[in-house]
Amino acid sequence: MASGLGLITPGVKSHGASGIYFLFGVHVVKTVSVTNAREPNQGIVALDVEGVLIPEIWIAVAERTGIEDLKRTTREEPDYDKLMLGRLEILRTHGLTMSLIEEVMSELKPLAGAKEFLDSIRNKYQVILLSDTFEQFARPFMRQLGMPTVFCHRLIIKGDEIADYELRQVNQKQKAVEAFRGLNYRVAAAGDSYNDTTMLAAATKGFLFRAPTNVIAEFPEYPAFTTYQELESAIDAVLGE
């Protein structure tokens, strides 16, 4: 059988200038060769939450109760499991309840300028909040911030007692950023504590924001900023067109 395409042999594969043609009878089916973008041209911003957008909740609880040991955070303690087990023991020893912590949180607001900063970068980029806080702690703040997407963990509550905690995934900040980059995104990440540094290392570019001097000294490879304007300009330099 012949046609304007020439001799047709059923099932024979022929290479064209811009793709591959499969010839079946008198019908020609063209498949397009699909490849990934050579360089990532789309961007995501990954931000820590406590200390970057909202106050440190455990410090607020410490100030309410007068328990100084609750002021220790990931800014001082790099071992998150050790930190949380210590907090749970303090809660049990002093009889501190979830209701008390919710009362403390009800009096807290996002840091000054945080909502405006978040709105501004969300207007330009996709933004994911990556936090080692817990969904029970994060929820009221996310409402105040316009319900951005947040990846975090979960507390195990029994009655009014915080009985335990459950990590959604160990080292979830780093793994999330690695996954975004595996999806061919450029990632600008910012945080303030030890538990943010693996995320910053995995990002296209990482930044410290209002980090304590000990973290800045140990990780001089990450530019350190103290204002939202500085941080937004740095993000724009990485992700902007």
Pairing of strands 2-3, 224-225: unpaired
Alpha helices (runs of H) in 123-224, residue ranges in sequence order? 135-144, 172-182, 197-202, 213-218
Distance between CA 223 and CA 117 in Å, rounded?
Answer: 18
User: Which one is catalytic: 39, 50, 116, 132?
Assistant: 50
CA dihedral 11, 17, 19, 24 (to 10 degrees): -20
To the query of whether residue 119 is one of the catalytic residues in this protein, the response is no
67 residue type, one letter: I
Distance between CA 195 and CA 186 in Å, rounded?
Answer: 21
195 residue type, one letter: N
Q: What are the DSSP E strand ranges found in the chain?
A: 2-3, 6-7, 12-15, 20-24, 27-31, 42-47, 126-134, 149-158, 161-166, 185-191, 205-209, 224-225
To the query of whether residue 39 is one of the catalytic residues in this protein, the response is no
Q: Give 24's strand partners.
A: 27
Q: What separation in angstroms does the CA of 45 have from each of 10, 60, 120?
A: 51, 27, 12
Which residues are catalytically annotated? 48, 50
